[in-house]
Amino acid sequence: MTQPILSLSATELEQWLADHDAPAYRRRQIWGWLGRGATTFDAMRELPKSLRVALDADFRATSLRSIAVSEADGGRTTKTLFELDGGHSVEAVVMRYADRSTLCISSQAGCPIGCPFCATGKFPFGRNLKAHEIVEQAVDAERVLAAEGRRLSHIVFMGMGEPMANYRAVIDSVRMLADPEMLGISPRRIVVSTSGLIPRITQLGDEKLPVTLAISLHAARDELRDVLVPINRKYPVNDLVEAAQAYGARTGRRVSYEWVMLAGVNDTERDARELGGLLKRKLAHVNLIPFNPVEDTPYHAPDRKAIRAFKEMVEAQGLNVTVRDTRGREADAACGQLHERVMKNKLAVS
Ligand code: SF4
């Protein structure tokens, strides 16, 4: 199998071009075509035919193979399951809004963190994605959106995996996504989430990449967070918030705290009070996410009334709070659900 072209750095591709008597500026043209979603080298019309043939002999435009797609919200949300080289698979979700198009991207096949409410955490960890496999998800989304007269404008690293556990590839991919010669998506429009790997949060602050940091918080006391987000046993919640706020202070970016709402588990008055206490007077935003039911878990989503009541209780603590819309419920929207359904079907037919 030939090499995926995005697995080459700019320097490596320019060296390959030099070896084929082609000028270095062709690299920018190739990246530009890929950024616009070209799926073949033959489609790159500015390139001489001989170069297109040579590229085709040595490279693939992408390493991802789409193996399932599901749709929701009247087509405004689409989820694609991609097979990776070697057989693992990951999901990517495109969400279309009036003023933006957002891609939820995966950074690992599976996830080693094992949160008990998460579909991804339920199946065995596969492997880290390489930087080009992350970028290729965005290139595919750009291709799909371009056909609809849209552009990909925002990226959230909230798909399968813990981005900070695949740190180097995630940072390299963010730099490529932001490169004006590739997709040109400003780091300010890229959200990197983490369940709480404190050393990586600190390292992220050194990168001079002002991405928005999202903390998958879900509980404000260690006793509960130890269960919901097991990495908390290593990196307790107060230390986590301190590291996240230090990142916010260094980059000038407001930190987002994600809170998956689980009925009777973390939606009580006590939880609202504890959350208020944890984030009081901090430059922070709380994003409440109604739980998207996952089979074989003991968790349920609170009803609308309970969500509103919790939001009001948290706001009363002086925090800035939004409730995330429940995009894509029919699209197996919680991360890992399409993967789970496709794998179950595979098992059923094998
Ligand atoms: S919620 Fe996020 S960190 Fe937790 S298991 Fe799922 S993908 Fe991993």
For the chain, 350 residues long, give each residue's pLDDT as a single digit of tens. 899 999 999 999 999 999 999 999 999 999 999 988 889 999 999 999 999 999 999 999 999 999 999 988 888 999 999 999 999 999 999 999 999 999 999 999 999 999 999 988 777 899 999 999 999 999 999 999 999 999 999 999 999 999 999 999 999 999 999 999 899 999 999 999 999 999 999 999 999 899 999 999 999 999 999 999 999 999 999 999 999 999 999 999 999 999 999 999 999 999 999 999 999 999 999 999 999 888 888 999 999 999 999 999 999 999 999 998 766 555 555 555 666 666 555 544 43
Count the domains in the chain. Answer: 2
CATH number, domain containing residue 7:
1.10.150.530
Q: How far is the CA of 105 from the centre of ligand 1 (A)?
A: 13
> Does 156 lie in the same domain as 123?
yes
* Last residue in a domain, options 21, 36, 60: 60
> Does 111 lie in the same domain as 24?
no
* Last residue in a domain, options 60, 76, 100: 60
> Does 273 lie in the same domain as 151?
yes
> Does 71 lie in the same domain as 20?
no
CATH number, domain containing residue 156:
3.20.20.70
For ligand 1, say whether the CB of 340 is within 6 Å of any of its atoms.
no
> Does 37 lie in the same domain as 117?
no
Which of 90, 106, 120, 160 is the pocket-test mutation for ligand 1 (most atoms within 8 Å of CB)?
120
> Does 40 lie in the same domain as 69?
no
Helix, strand or coil, per DSSP, at residue 92: strand
For ligand 1, say whether the CB of 121 is within 6 Å of any of its atoms.
yes
> Does 164 lie in the same domain as 27?
no
User: What domain range includes position 56?
Assistant: 3-60
Q: How far is the CA of 230 from the centre of ligand 1 (A)?
A: 10
- CA dist 215 → 72, 233, 255 (Å): 27, 16, 8
> Does 89 lie in the same domain as 56?
no
Closest Cα to atom 5, ligand 1: which residue?
121
Taking each helix axis from N to C terminus, what angle separates 198-205 and 167-178, rounded to the nearest 10 degrees?
30
> Does 70 lie in the same domain as 55?
no
> Does 48 lie in the same domain as 104?
no
**Residues labelled as active-site residues:** 91, 335
Residue 61, both tokens: 């435009």
Which of 107, 118, 156, 260 is the pocket-test mutation for ligand 1 (most atoms within 8 Å of CB)?
118
Q: How far is the CA of 113 from the centre of ligand 1 (A)?
A: 6
Residue 52, both tokens: 């297109």
> Does 345 lie in the same domain as 224?
yes
> Does 135 lie in the same domain as 32?
no
